[in-house]
Amino acid sequence: MIRADAALRPILGADEVSMFEMTRRINAHVRPFAGR
């Protein structure tokens, strides 16, 4: 389990998440890269 600090809590929405859940939640806040 990954423990969120004060900076990550608004992004993750929880105090602890698994590494798979963290990736899913962070991807919701990242926009796609347009490429080169």
Domain count, the chain: 1
pLDDT score at 19? 93
Q: Which domain holds residue 17?
A: 1-36
pLDDT score at 30? 87
pLDDT in tens, 10-33: 888 899 999 999 999 888 888 888
Q: What is the DSSP-derived secondary structure letter of residue 3?
A: E
pLDDT score at 21? 93
Closest CA to 13 of 30, 24, 35: 24
Q: What is the DSSP-derived secondary structure letter of residue 12?
A: H
Q: 13 near 33, Cβ under 8 Å?
A: no
